[in-house]
């Protein structure tokens, strides 16, 4: 993953940006979606950012979650996050542009290119918009492959076809009796498979297992 980010950093520098950052939010667990961040920001900034809880209020993240357009950093963008913006500038982060991306499994990411001077002009934004969109999507795809390859070691890869069928119907809210009728098996057999699923996935109940499987793309609801 670090090798990929070194390549991304090289592209950022080539485009005229000293710093780059990629934040990736996994779709599971749903109740507490983990975030992974790789960055070349000045030392101390990202630790401070996380400690202050800025991830929850960062306008770049909030707007990026709702738009596929490139986001140019400005005083107006950070009007409601003035303290964060002032502190970033104190660290030498004074201009930037961000691009969000999504995965089919529900993952979300934001690529940011930043520098210590010279605001991003409309002409520059237009000139690099296709390139930054490509970089964001390529990075998101590779991070998804890497992270989900590890995530699927939670037992989802060892699910049998029957277990996947039962999970699929469970994700649609079907009871064990209803699933049994659909698959022409006894409810006790459905429950037997559900217990095997919970054991393999380390889930506390069948709905948690179903939600996780859907989010990881193991089954389609």
Q: What is the pLDDT of residues 71-116, one digit of tens each?
A: 999 999 999 999 999 999 999 999 999 999 987 667 889 999 999 9
DSSP state of 119: P
What's residue 157's pLDDT?
Answer: 60
Q: Is the pTM of this model over 0.85?
A: no
What 3-state DSSP class applies to 105?
coil
- Distance, in Å, from the CA atom of 116 to the CA atom of 19, rounded to the nearest integer, reads 9
Give the sheet arrangement for strand 19-25, strand by strand: 35-39, 19-25, 108-115, 95-102, 71-72
With contact defined as beta carbons under 8 Å apart, do 218 and 163 qualify? no
* Mean pLDDT to the nearest integer, 17-44: 82
What's residue 28's pLDDT?
Answer: 57
H-run or E-run covering 22: strand 19-25
> Is a pLDDT exceeding 90 seen at residue 177?
yes
Per mean pLDDT, which of 25-34, 43-52, 96-105, 202-211 is the most reliable? Answer: 43-52
Q: How would you label 72-88 residue by residue, b for 16+ Cβ within 10 Å and e otherwise? A: bbeeebbeebeebbebb
- Distance, in Å, from the CA atom of 152 to the CA atom of 52, rounded to the nearest integer, reads 32
User: CB under 8 Å to 201, separation ≥6 — which residues?
Assistant: 154, 155, 156, 159, 209, 212, 213
- Distance, in Å, from the CA atom of 153 to the CA atom of 155, rounded to the nearest integer, reads 5
Domains assigned to the chain: 1-153 (3.30.450.80), 161-216 (1.10.10.10)
């Amino acid at each position: 993953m670090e090798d990929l980010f070194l390549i991304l950093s090289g592209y950022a520098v080539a485009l005229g940006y000293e710093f780059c950052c990629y934040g990736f939010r996994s779709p599971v667990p749903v109740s507490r979606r983990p975030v992974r961040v790789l960055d070349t920001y000045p030392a101390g900034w990202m630790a401070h950012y996380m400690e202050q809880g800025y991830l929850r209020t960062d306008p770049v993240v909030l707007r990026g979650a709702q738009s596929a357009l490139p986001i140019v950093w400005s005083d107006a963008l950070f009007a409601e996050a003035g303290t964060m913006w002032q502190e970033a500038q104190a660290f030498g982060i004074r201009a930037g542009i961000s691009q969000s991306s999504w995965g089919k499994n529900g993952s979300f990411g934001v690529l940011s290119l930043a520098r210590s001077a010279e605001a991003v002009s409309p002409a520059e934004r237009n000139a690099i918009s296709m390139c930054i969109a490509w970089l964001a999507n390529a990075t998101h795809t590779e991070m998804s492959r890497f992270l989900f390859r590890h995530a699927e070691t939670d037992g989802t890869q060892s699910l049998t076809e029957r277990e996947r069928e039962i999970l699929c119907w469970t994700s649609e809210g079907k009871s064990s009796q209803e699933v049994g009728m659909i698959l022409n098996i006894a409810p006790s057999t459905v429950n037997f498979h559900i217990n095997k699923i919970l054991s393999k996935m380390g889930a506390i109940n069948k709905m948690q297992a179903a939600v996780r499987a859907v989010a990881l793309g193991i089954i389609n609801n």
